[in-house]
Chain A
């Protein structure tokens, strides 16, 4: 660690302290280069995503055709999990659980945040690498270990964890309450502990790099919005993941060491009265959701940051309201810590708490709305280039609107009584996470692919991928709102408990068919992604004509330290697109101010100035002051 501390941001490149020989292992496996690590996160995330998607197709088959037998299921899964070609109800629960766990943590957190924070933070702030490349490498390998453990847990004899991705005790604490709560649950907990380790190691790195290793001229308010987003995401993770770790440890104790943190008053059929007394299952829920809520913002913030960047670049316009975007991120980040109880309105906790959480939850809708309006204003009067990345960014905004608005229903405790744990909730979180956030990831992949692999992904396939996925995703999740409004709970193996639920059988078929089409559309993406690595058109240095620093770094795998010579100095903010009076419709951050710049009431050009010298509007002034108070501003 002391070695890296002596590396200043603008110091010599990696080669300087003795060129060491790279072999396959140090270059591709245990790499400490942030770009390689980001690829590792990406590919592992994609593979886990395929696995999670496969599971969703399997349980959708059960929901659409509960009467039919699929002999291939019995062939693949065996007669224990698919007797007679129909999924076993316990295994169904396991599929639902692992699908949720994989998608939330392994794809959307690691695959989105892990990939892009690692790739972009050093490149966009102008650093040679992360603050601690070694810890960064560890963060990937903890993630890999976690993925392996979780994947293996699906194939054990007693089945994977099956109490939902939220794994509430007592169900998840008692192996005799359901088979998946045996070894499967233990492995789930092991995987989560490893995952949390990965997240913390990464998060510390991201924060340190952003705060300490920005290049000359890169003040906080000249950072691209992606970096702001990754920064807040890392802060959220650092403060909230440890609470889940604590909650998981207590669950491990209850399961294995006879404690009663979460257990009390339990009589298990077939086992008898358990001795545990005094614990509260609601405690676990508090500990879980204290992470769980920030977790969903950990997922969406990077996606929103990526969208800000991609929309600006492709509309050839500055992102509208840069400062408002930053402040709304601060608002979201802060508020996300005090709304977790909205997942628990009907858990039996004190209704007064419900009132408190409701108020804060509806407040957090405001900054989210502001961001959406800013995206719309960025598109307005733009010169929109429809790259696949841009389409995915636009798709994200559409899903964010749809999913975010239904959050307003759920955040209202009185309405939540009716909608909690129904398909309405499933529709809501899939629209915001399963659609909006994943589209952010896709947008990022299509946009920064040239930076990752030096080649372009095929554009036509990208368009097809987008439109098929976009339409399929809406067809899958929009009808679910109505299924929820009909009072049908989630995590149901089949809709047979009441005869009137049978009217939704056709809708289930529609949803499943759309889901299968959506799943197959991802093959377009997978083919595009992997074949373009080897056969894609070689990319130019700055294919999207973007202003940010990552496009000034040559794409050469042999190059460590990102820039061959000195790290560039930054003279302006990253959003000078279509600035009047210039030949090009973009001005990279490294282009100096020639002194004749019209100061358009936005002190993002010229070097950072102390507050009194500028004639900035109050909002910018305030943000500058705030940043100074937070110790974030280099003055």
Chain B
């Protein structure tokens, strides 16, 4: 039967089919990201780099790290919302966006860092990368679950795990039953015989000496296997001395370890109790006490003197402040600031930290521009305090429909307002802002102003993720912390110092091996020097890192001249020399 279609309907049908066909075909051939851009490998790669540098310390694709898992986030959120959130989630939340506030609350109210410097292309590439990774593409390196393939990547059938678990439990129970039965038998036979069935002294004595032999073998194994997995040779001058100190100490302590552990277990075996044996009543010998007091004292004096010399060389380096780089630690990452063409690091203060001035550098315009932002905040807080009763009413009225965890969360929010916590928090925040505004104003008005807001900070170069330093020069890293105590630990340099809010610290060192040289020596082209955090600083403590590349003088110059000043748009006209005394002032403006 032929179906006769009207003209209009026919057109519609043709159009619809064509439309569907084109979309299906194009969908198969040209995929589109939710950003509207066509998916291509170059953008994904760029997105991966950005993701690794900026997001990976807190986010993984497949599981929650410090922030939520990002798998399929593009399916859950609109692109516009994502862009706003990524760039400045604080502003989005302040604007009252419900989703934003929900995400923040669900994440223990831990705020995400802001990334106001990301442009549209950047964000599009990041999202594209997430889309690709969610679909099974390349995962971020060294940030999510194990970067090295340990063979655990294939998901195991959960029912198999369950069966194995039950079998292991059963095994344990059986072993326990067997053990107890043995014990019972031994005890009862001993009771019947009236004497010990098993010569426990003999057995334990024997096991002592067997343990000793096994233990020494295990030590040898440890040193030869795990001992080879420790850090490669130090890449700084003082680092080599530290390692020397370590080795000398190891020789002495190793010697003592072997002798004393041997004697301990050997005596335990040799003098195990037997019938008819009598111990020797020997209560003291002051001469030998003197001997084994004085000899350790001498050895330790040697170690102390060596240690003092090394320590003094490290902490009292006359070449400090010849080449300064500021390293700024925050939850959860590192930033670095180079002095720029004028050779001076600009002054800084925590009151000046803002989204466009993440390190709080003393730049007059920025400071002046910050005041209205802060005043808006205080106005916001006041508004929120006024609106609290309304918010409470809304929460209470919504309560009825909720159950379980959601209901509990809602009840918490209600309690927070009713108990006055919400209000006191807002008042505290207000007072912090007010004091901050007062301090900034004072710094702009007092006699210190010229000295503090000198223009040395304008050409400072701020770098994340990767810094370069030249070889064979004495570098001083000046440390500042934004929020809590972090610890700047550079294992390959044998350097470590706490980064303390309110207490400027520094390390002074001289790198003696470039990254390239080290990579060649170790035959590991992906080896790099890193700074890690070694003082517990919050949930992201384990993923703070920044790469340090040691370059030849020429390579370093090439790198630094490619960097832009953070607060000026042009490249530095003169090549950057780091000669002047760049002791920065961290002025207390209070």
Contact = CB atoms under 8 A, between A and B. Distances in A.
Contact of B526 (A71, A499, A617): A499
Interface in A421-478: 421-422, 458-461, 463-464, 467, 470-471, 474, 478
A492 B542 contact: yes
B315 A354 contact: yes
A602 interface: yes
Contacts of A578: 278-281
B229 interface: yes
B208 interface: yes
A431 to B, nearest CB: 12
A575 interface: yes
A268 B484 CA distance: 8
A496 B534 CA distance: 14
Contacts of B405: 79
A168 to B, nearest CB: 6
B331 to A, nearest CB: 6
Nearest to A579: B281
Contacts of B293: 366, 369-370
Contact of B64 (A88, A163, A420, A421): A88
Nearest to B256: A405
A114 B120 CA distance: 64
A320 B282 contact: yes
Interface residues of A, number: 151
A474 B215 contact: yes
Nearest to A406: B253
Given A366-B293, A420-B534, A381 B282 contact: yes
A205 B371 CA distance: 60
A241 B565 CA distance: 52
Given A265-B502, A467-B207, A479-B226, A489 B533 contact: yes
B345 to A, nearest CB: 17
Given A280-B503, A362-B300, A366-B296, A168 B485 contact: yes
A501 to B, nearest CB: 8
A543 interface: no
A595 interface: no
Contact of A376 (B90, B263, B487): B263
Interface string A511-537: 000000000100110000000000000
A607 interface: no
Contact of A84 (B64, B142, B218, B311): B64
A253 interface: no
A28 interface: no
Interface in B399-442: 405, 412, 429, 431-433, 435-436
B246 to A, nearest CB: 5
B540 A89 contact: yes
B231 A171 contact: no
Contacts, number: 435
B583 interface: no
A619 B274 CA distance: 35
Interface string B273-302: 110011111111110110011001100110
B66 interface: yes
B543 interface: yes
Interface in B214-260: 215, 218-219, 222, 226-227, 229-231, 241-242, 245-246, 249-250, 252-253, 256-257, 260
Interface stretch (A50-58, A102-110, A172-180): A172-180
Interface string B348-386: 011101000000100000000000000001000000000
A585 B275 CA distance: 12
B119 interface: no
A373 B292 contact: yes
A304 B111 CA distance: 49
Interface in B154-211: 158, 172, 176, 179, 182-183, 186-187, 200-201, 204-205, 207-208, 211
Contact of A460 (B186, B201, B505, B544): B186
B312 A398 contact: no
Nearest to A168: B485
B253 A386 contact: no
6 contacts: A170-B484, A321-B289, A363-B297, A384-B205, A498-B545, A578-B279
Given A270-B90, A376-B264, A619-B289, 10 more contacts: A267-B350, A272-B429, A346-B496, A414-B242, A496-B142, A496-B144, A497-B542, A502-B150, A578-B278, A578-B279
